[in-house]
Amino acid sequence: MGWNGLFKTLVKKLGPLKALIIASEAGRVTRKYPFEPPLISEEFRGKIEIDENKCIGCGACVNVCPPNALTMEQDNDTKVLKYFIGRCIYCWRCIDVCPTGAIRGTLEFELATNNIDDLHEMVVHEVVKCRVCGKPVTTIAMKDFVLEKTRYAEEYIDLDPYCRKEKFIKAIEGRFGYREQQ
């Protein structure tokens, strides 16, 4: 074996050492994270924020939420939109469907906490009650939102769907002179 052959064998044997060149060129790729900004892009989907002033309590976000992180609870006086971060998968479907743009996405992902209550957020809405039967119909914010869009909704906005139907039937009756047989 001449010098040339020896050199070639040596290069072949030292092949694995190329890893040293790769490593030195790559340098340090990890970050001193809490002291340096984390590696997230501007497109990152993090936690959502709900603007109480814009939310009208329509429940569109609740309908599309795949993991039920957003839920709606209604009793006689209030309608509450609840957001539990523990279930959220950060898909931002709620942002897509919100009619008022009340939900905003953030880049926030540092959500660890010692207290589970920190993971709950809620928006409390006061409800409008039916002027005939007194059952809760819709939220005040929703009523204002609808009235802004359509003025004549004033006629029926504070009626329970059932009472609304009754009213409609009565109006038809009055118009055509038909009376329901008892």
Partner 1 sequence: MSGNSPNNKKSIVDEYVRRLSKYASDIKFIDDTLFAAIPSNSFREAVKLVHDEFDCYLRTCAGVDERPVNGFFAMYYIFGDDRNGLNIVLKTYADPSKQVFPSVTDICPAADWCEMEARDLLGLEFKGRQQYRLVLPNWWPKNLYPLRKDVPHDIKPKPSFTGERVSVGRKGSSAPIPVGPYHPALHEPEYFELYVEGEKVVDVKYRGFHVHRGIEKLAETRMTYQQIPFLAERICGICGFVHSTCYCQAVEKAARIDVPERALFIRSIILEIERIHSHLLWVGVAAHLLGYDTGFMHSWRIREHVMYLAELLTGSRKTYGINLIGGVRKDINEDKIPKTLEVLSIIEKEFARLVDTMISVPEIKFRLKETGILPKEDARKLSVVGPTARGSGLDRDNRRDLPYAAYKYADFNVPVYDEGDNLARTLVRVDEVFESIKIIRQLIEQLPKGPIMAEEIDIPENRMAVSLVEAPRGEDVHFVITGYGKPYRWRVRAPTYQNIPALKVMLNGVMLADAPLTIASIDPCFSCTDRIVVVKSDGRREVLHLPSQWGGMGCSRL
Chain residues in the site for partner 1 (CB under 8 A): 12, 15-16, 18-19, 22-23, 26, 29, 39-41, 43-45, 63-67, 89-93, 96
The residue (of 42 and 117) whose beta carbon lies closer to partner 1 is 42
The residue (of 12 and 175) whose beta carbon lies closer to partner 1 is 12
Q: How far is the CB of 101 from partner 1 (least distance, A)?
A: 17
Q: How far apart are CA 164 and CA 167, in angstroms?
A: 5
The residue (of 93 and 129) whose beta carbon lies closer to partner 1 is 93
The residue (of 65 and 137) whose beta carbon lies closer to partner 1 is 65
**Can you tell me whether residue 111 is helix, strand or coil?**
coil
| CB 75, CB 126: distance < 8 Å | no
Q: How far is the CB of 121 from partner 1 (least distance, A)?
A: 21
Retrieve residue 91's tokens.
């898909």
Q: How far is the CB of 171 from partner 1 (least distance, A)?
A: 33
Retrieve residue 48's tokens.
């959502």
H-only helix segments in the chain: 3-13, 18-26, 60-64, 93-97, 140-149, 161-176
Q: How far is the CB of 38 from partner 1 (least distance, A)?
A: 11
Q: How far is the CB of 89 from partner 1 (least distance, A)?
A: 6
Angle of CA points 160, 162, 166, to nearest 5° = 110
The residue (of 97 and 132) whose beta carbon lies closer to partner 1 is 97
Determine if residue 34 is left, alpha or beta; phi over 0 gives left, psi from -120 to 50 gives alpha, anything else beta: alpha
Residue 130 has what DSSP assignment? Answer: P
Cβ neighbours of 65 (radius 10 Å): 19
